[in-house]
Amino acid sequence: MRHYFALFIFAVILVFSSCRTDFDTVASSGNLKFSRDTVYLDTVFKNIGSSTYQLKVYNKSKDDISIPIIQLKKGLASKYRMTVDGMSGNQGKIFNNVTLLAKDSLYIFIETTADITDADPTDFLYTDEIEFDSGANLQKVALVTLIQDAIFLYPKQNPDGSKEKIKIDGKDVDGFYLEENDAVNGNELLFSNQKPYVIYGYAGVPKTKTAVFEAGSRVFFHANSGLFVDSDAALQINGGVSTTEKLEKEVIFEGDRLESLYSDIPGQWGSIILAEGSVNHSINHLTLKNATIGLDLKTTTNTAIKNTQIYNCAQYGILAENAQITGENIVINYAGLASLSCVYGGNYNFTHCTFYNNWQSNSHFAVSLSNSLSGKVPETNPLTQATFNNCIIYGSNTNELNLNKNTNAAFVYQLSNCLLKFSSSSTNPDYQFKTDTQHYNSIILNESPKFYNVSQNKFNIDKTSAAFAKGNQAYIIPVDIIGNTRTSPPDLGAYQSKDF
């Protein structure tokens, strides 16, 4: 009985001691330690909130301490805001008498929303400091953010408070049509390289108009946003060969989160949609990243796509529905369903292209072809041509080519001088790469292309690659995707081998 009584007394003491809230603390002596001495909040667009960044503060002493003040140096005028161990303080700027226990730490989370006018005009940096304590014990952690000016394009607000909408595939979506004589932006159909553009919602190219993207232009799309080219409208992307790592002449489409955390996340924005009936499209030196569907083509007039890179798309790099494409020096990697998917027939000719898919699943493809589409009337449509010359079709799966053939419509395809990954044990008559000369000529099967670095989208090769000097001179494109002259016989894929 005495044993149980002793246990009861011990439990009571333990409970009361755990509920104690009055700590004996000493004043901070200026010996705090920090997880970093500068917090870089990456690049943000003017007046667009940043991601949240973390700073950890350590008390390595044996004493519980009280920090008299934690504050932003610019005080309530600062464009930064913080929380300290979940507390918001005075407008997220000033915190008084913060307790930090011995051998313990606290978290500070930092964000910013700033205008270009807040930044230093010489370098566009907005800076501040987090100050800990004051006087002789003052410690500081620097805050640095690059503010980027931009042209913002977005749907107008209707009198009833709703957003402007446009119709895409029969559905109303948040969007607007670009104007030639906008009161604020001038000619919105001409995308220059003077400032980046940030698009909210779908920017529509009106019927009979052409959207032109100059070399070096940069377009950043917000979530659920994209570009829609209406019937009888056209898209002209006029990028060029760049000579530096800044890709100064490349046209770049990507999401509007500039922080490094978002650099390779698929599905951050919608798609570039070329509607049925749209015309005269030309795409040259475009880099497109992190969309849901990169290029969504429904036009039956020829679209020329050259020297173009498409990466990290949640569904497809290129989705073509009964479309017509002439493709040269295209590279696509990392797509949830297929890097290139041609459905409901069409007419396609690809030369010196690298279709790779490194998506981590067992159901994706590098290339998928089909002459049918569920829900369409009729359900089948002729695939009049699908030609792949001097191409690489490869990836992380066992089979990277998918032929979905319906016998109710034509299904015409041919692969010549291509490096292909596909199970050599397949008995399906559509995949007899060595004996079916009607559809396959000079196929290299399951030999490694030895790309430089697939995870970094570097698809250069060297002399050890199975794609080296295996191309057919009859199909040669004289220069590769980055302007290198091809030799004879050429290498397969979009890159000509070169020391790098």
* Confidence bin at 499 (pLDDT 50/70/90): low
> What DSSP state is assigned to residue 490?
P
* Confidence bin at 131 (pLDDT 50/70/90): very high
pLDDT at 78 over 90: yes
More confident residue, 498 or 17: 498
Q: What is the pLDDT of residue 498?
A: 78
Helix or strand (DSSP H, E) at 161: none
Every domain of the chain and the residues it spans: 26-148, 151-475
pLDDT at 11 over 60: no
CB 276 within 8 A of CB 346: no
pLDDT at 3 over 60: no
| Cα(199)–Cα(204) distance, integer angstroms | 11
| Cα(154)–Cα(176) distance, integer angstroms | 7
Of 4-18, 67-81, 184-198, 363-377, the poorest mean pLDDT is in 4-18
pLDDT at 431 over 80: yes
Helix or strand (DSSP H, E) at 69: strand 65-72
| Cα(248)–Cα(246) distance, integer angstroms | 5
The model's pLDDT over 143-170, given as tens digits with 9 standing for 90+, comes to: 999 999 999 999 988 888 888 999 999 9
pLDDT at 19 over 90: no
The model's pLDDT over 306-342, given as tens digits with 9 standing for 90+, comes to: 999 999 999 999 999 999 999 999 999 999 999 999 9
Half-sphere exposure of 148 toward its Cβ, with a 13 Å CA cutoff?
22
| Cα(26)–Cα(76) distance, integer angstroms | 28
Residues 6+ apart with CB under 8 A from 457: 309, 311, 331, 333, 334
| Cα(128)–Cα(140) distance, integer angstroms | 10
Q: What is the mean pLDDT of residues 446-464?
A: 96
User: The CATH number of 26-148 is which of 3.90.420.10, 3.40.50.2300, 2.60.40.10, 3.40.640.10?
Assistant: 2.60.40.10
Q: From 44, 50, 99, 113, select the one nearest 70 (Cα to Cα).
A: 99
Q: What is the pLDDT of residue 441?
A: 98
pLDDT at 134 over 90: no
The model's pLDDT over 33-58, given as tens digits with 9 standing for 90+, comes to: 999 999 998 888 988 888 899 999 99
Of 5-9, 57-61, 386-390, the poorest mean pLDDT is in 5-9
The rounded mean pLDDT for the chain is 92
Other C-beta atoms within 10 Å of 223: how many?
13
